[in-house]
Every structure is written in structure tokens, then in C-alpha cells.
Amino acid sequence: EVQLVESGGGLVQPGGSLRLSCSASGFTFSSYWMSWVRQAPGKGLEWVASIKEEGGKEYYVDSVKGRFTISRDSAKTSLYLQMNSLRAEDSAVYYCARPMYYDILSGLGPLDSWGQGTLVTVSS
């Protein structure tokens, strides 16, 4: 059974930093792209970032480029999101999720496994 467990959320002041972690199990972690998706309170889903199977290729939503960094450690089967220069609008539940596939023609596939999410609150 695929399991994704996020951690690292919490309360941080504007301009501060936070590192989210996602521990993966139940599948061959190094064979899948991985993604972060967030959801602000009462709002819709927003994709944040994705990273290639062994790293080396990343995509980010424009609003976090230059501030957030996605990374992974295959030995620890873990995904990370380093968040710097945090803003109030970054407050959200952050989900770790696994794309079903990556295809050269279709791109990144649907997210077929999700963690339970970790809450990030940016406030003074």
C-alpha cells in the first residue's frame, strides 16, 4: 500500500523559512516523479512543484519560483520542500502527492496517491 506522510508544517513569521518533508513507502520511490500541492483555507487546489524520478528536472508554479526548492532523497525515500521568504499567501495545507506517470507526449500524469497534508501558517 502506498503511503505518503508529510511533516514539518507549523507557524512561521512572514519572511521566515520552513522545510517540509514527505516520507514515502509502499512503492519504488526512485521510479516516480513526485509533487507538492497546496490548498489555502476554504480555497481550491494549487499545484506547487514537481521533481523528476532521480532529480535533475523540476517544475514550479510562478508564485514560488526563487523562493521554494523541491528536492528528494532516494536513500531515505523522502521528498522535501524548502520554503524561504514566506508570505501570508503561502498559508495552506501542503500535500505530498505521487503522479501516476510521466509521458513525453502527455507530460506529468494525474496524482493517484496523496498524503494527509501538513498545515503551514504564515503570520506575525
Partner 1 sequence: SYVLTQPPSVSVAPGKTASITCGGNNIGSKSVHWYQQKPGQAPVLVVYDDSDRPSGIPERFSGSNSGNAATLTISRVEAGDGADYYCQVWDSSSDSDPYVFGTGTKVTVL
Residues at the interface with partner 1 (CB under 8 A): 35, 37, 44-47, 50, 59, 61-62, 65, 95, 100, 106-112, 114-117
**Based on CB atoms, which residue is closest to partner 1, 4 or 122?**
4
CB of 101 to partner 1, least distance (A): 10
Q: Pick the closest to residue 2 from 20, 26, 36, 33 (CA basis).
A: 26
What separation, in Å, do the N-terminal and C-terminal C-alpha atoms of the chain show?
Answer: 40
The three cell numbers locating residue 80? 522535501
CB of 13 to partner 1, least distance (A): 27
Q: How far apart are CA 43 and CA 71, in angstroms?
A: 26
**Based on CB atoms, which residue is closest to partner 1, 27 or 59?**
59
Q: How far apart are CA 77 and CA 87, in angstroms?
A: 29
